[in-house]
Amino acid sequence: MGNRVVLALGGNALGDDLASQMEAVKHTSKAIADLIEAGNEVVVAHGNGPQVGMINNAFTEYGKVDSKYPYMPLSMCVAMSQAYIGYDLQNALREELKNRGINKTVTALITQVIVDENDPAFKNPTKPIGPFMTKEESEDATKRGMTVVEDSGRGYRRVVASPRPQQIVEIDTIKALLDAGEVVIACGGGGIPVVEEGNHLRGVGAVIDKDFASCVMAKQVNADNFIVLTAVEKVAVKFGTPEQEWLSSMNIEEANVHIGNNEFAPGSMLPKVQAAMEFAQSGEGRKSLITSLEKASEGLEGKTGTWISVK
């Protein structure tokens, strides 16, 4: 019997547009199917950066043509991206499994993630989304409650908060599907960010980091391993220099030293390492793996990748 694994797919596994996505998910599904064929229970999370931007831009442009259609709330854009990425991915993975004689149902679940309305990120939105605006457009956006900043002389852009995920709303459904032997796709794009108002869940204009949301999900489904997929086979220190060193493993103390030395880029490898550390510290025997999509199966067998554990 294999392990229960949460797999966090990077954006490079999904392509940048509809045509490339269709091709990319076929390749991605082969790597996921390898893990399933080896006997592992698999939950798949994925990014949505290019896709949610495309949706947001499309509605923004349409609103300029027809005033009856104002801008689409970001939470809705995330929901749309979850649905159509999940649609492509579940069909590609279903086909790949059937081609291998594996009779498993694949379910893509629209997933909401609770965030704290008082998260400091809401007071300091930094994540740019959507198209560049003129000064006049930015003033109109500000009147509609958006936060807009000037972007390096190229124009104005909306920025949104990126709060930390607290709880997966549909976690019991995810667990039930896993226990029934299904393959689950959830927390797409980090999940739809919502805040609790009594029994009501209200979508908020934010984006949640996919790796941190996947980590929360991994903890809540009691996963054995959390795999963060990226463009490289292993994590490196002194990256891009003659002293570059690929790491096969890190314990928490070593990882903290590397973070203190600014070895990992804030917008790239740092959140992946931090999410991997968080999962590894969340329970006895839990370990995280950072590697490339193509090496995920070999990594889980201990042949490659960077393993992160408490000791």
Q: What residues are annotated to the active site? A: 11-12, 127, 210, 272
Q: How many CA atoms lie within 13 A of 48 on its CB side?
A: 34
**Cα angle for residues 106, 110, 115 (degrees, 5° grid):** 135
95 by Cβ neighbours in 10 Å (0-12 / 13-18 / 19+) ranks as middle
Q: What is the distance, to the nearest Å, from the Cα of residue 13 to the centroid of all Cα atoms in its chain?
A: 11
What are the start-end ranges of the E strands in 61-115? Answer: 106-108, 112-115
Cβ neighbours of 259 (radius 10 Å): 14
Residues in CB range of 55: below 8 A, 6 or more apart: 72, 77, 80, 81
User: What is the SS3 assignment for 226?
Assistant: strand
Structure tokens at 34: 């390898």
User: What is the SS3 assignment for 172?
Assistant: helix
CA dist 147 and 17 (Å) reads 27
CA dist 81 and 191 (Å) reads 10
Structure tokens at 125: 């939105």
Structure tokens at 241: 């220099």
CA dist 189 and 255 (Å) reads 26
Q: Find, among 8, 1, 97, the residue nearest to 296 by Cα.
A: 8
